[in-house]
A = this chain, B = another copy of it.
Amino acid sequence: MIAEIITIGDELLIGQVIDTNSSFIAKQLNKIGVSIYQITSVQDEKSHILQALSDAEHRVDIVIITGGLGPTKDDITKKTIAEYFNDSLVRDDSVLQNIETIWKQHVRTTLLQVNKDQALIPSKSKPLMNRLGTAPGMWIEKAEKVFISLPGVPYEMKALIDYEVIPKLTDKYHCPFILHRTLMVYGLGESALAERIEAWEDALPEHIKLAYLPNLGQMRLRLSTKGFDEQKLKREVQEQIDKVLPYIKDEFAGFEDEEGSVEMVIAKQLTKIGKTLAIAESCTGGAVAERFTVHSGASAYFKGGVVTYSTQSKINVLQVPKSLIDQYSVVSAQVAEAMAKNALDLFQSDYAIATTGNAGPTKGDSDADVGTVFIAIATKTQVYSQEFNFGNLRLKVINKAVNKALEMLLKEIFKN
């Protein structure tokens, strides 16, 4: 089965909001064997939405529409969908009841008419109950095709996909199994990696697709295939992985699909071995800590972190000696190592990472070139650091420093 995602909203077309909904929907649908053929973002404009619906109907089996279901006048998706199906809007009592319940629990003021009107849905549609908001999802069948309209608010859309859309789609269709395995690779550029594994790549069977995904100092290598024999596909892909791993054994960091990300590989390993982590950040400004704390379960291994952005706070909070800073400057191996060591002591952790550098665009408290970053790792028995230059684009410097810090920590905790 193939699907198209249509995201509706002027905010997407003027660049005010990044479309994060499509990637979530694509990922969830892939898991049940539905491939996304295309993603189309269109304006809050009737003729444009009608055209997009018609184009998508010719291309795919399943059309998933998000956005434009709010209570305000700029939201026109529902009316437009009704027009597309030559249908009219009728009140659905179960939806109205859900709206009243949500209003009572979360808003507590009088229910407004515009919110009551959110219970109006096309007569040919079935409502998909939205327990987290007042805009219902809608499911409309036309011949063998399905149209699904969902609110654009991400957490409402996500709950509807997981609890309403996925079960209904698996009921209706017999889908193939889609398999992706993604290898995380560190320390090799795209073309160097391609050259290293060329013989293997050229011998890959036709039905297993390979993709290279470079990302600021990290590479990902994705194998994809689909078919109806799940066990056979898994075996075939595993055979290819077994063949490629010897080429990249020093650079391989784990599987993104199973571990989620490098920080999750680290998190799982720390939890498993019962060790803890502290983080002292300067130029990365809290971004390393956040990579861990957005995931649940961080409290099992993450003791905490400091963002010692100013030189004074490195002295006051992390007890980095002022003399050390005066002698070597605040962007130096010595200061990075002192930060890591002292964070380890302060938080009483088993490992600590520290970053100090100049993310630019202007020089801060140090004469170091923009892009210079020192990253240090401390353990109970040693502390060491490395110097990098990540160029002169602020966000690139920050993100590369975060990736590199995670890479160094990964290597450290898997040393034994």
The residues of A with any CB-CB pair to B shorter than 8 Å are: 10-20, 22-28, 30, 35-44, 48, 52, 55, 70-75, 107, 109, 112, 114-115, 132, 153, 155, 178, 180, 182, 189-192, 194-195, 201, 209-214, 222, 224, 278-279, 281, 284-290, 292-294, 296, 298-299, 302-310, 312-313, 316-317, 346-348, 359-362, 364-365, 391, 393-396, 398
Contact A303 B310 (CB under 8 A): yes
Contact B303 A312 (CB under 8 A): yes
State the copy count for this chain: 2
Given contacts A70-B212, A285-B292, A286-B305, A38 and B23 within 8 Å (CB-CB): no
For A305, what are the chain B residues with a Cβ–Cβ distance below 8 Å? 286, 306-307, 309
Bound-state CA distance A204–B75 (Å) is 16
Chain B, Cβ-Cβ closest to A288: B286
Contact A362 B13 (CB under 8 A): no
The 10 closest A-B pairs by CB, nearest first: A285-B293, A15-B27, A15-B26, A286-B289, A286-B286, A304-B313, A39-B41, A305-B307, A15-B23, A286-B290
Extra inter-chain contacts (16) besides given A16-B182, A293-B398, CB under 8 Å:
A12-B22, A12-B23, A13-B39, A14-B180, A15-B28, A16-B213, A19-B19, A19-B39, A285-B292, A285-B294, A287-B294, A294-B395, A296-B362, A299-B310, A304-B308, A305-B306
Highest count of chain B CB atoms <10 Å: which of A13, A30, A224: A13
| Shortest distance between the CB of A241 and any CB in chain B (Å) | 17
Highest count of chain B CB atoms <10 Å: which of A42, A192, A347, A361: A347
| Shortest distance between the CB of A33 and any CB in chain B (Å) | 12
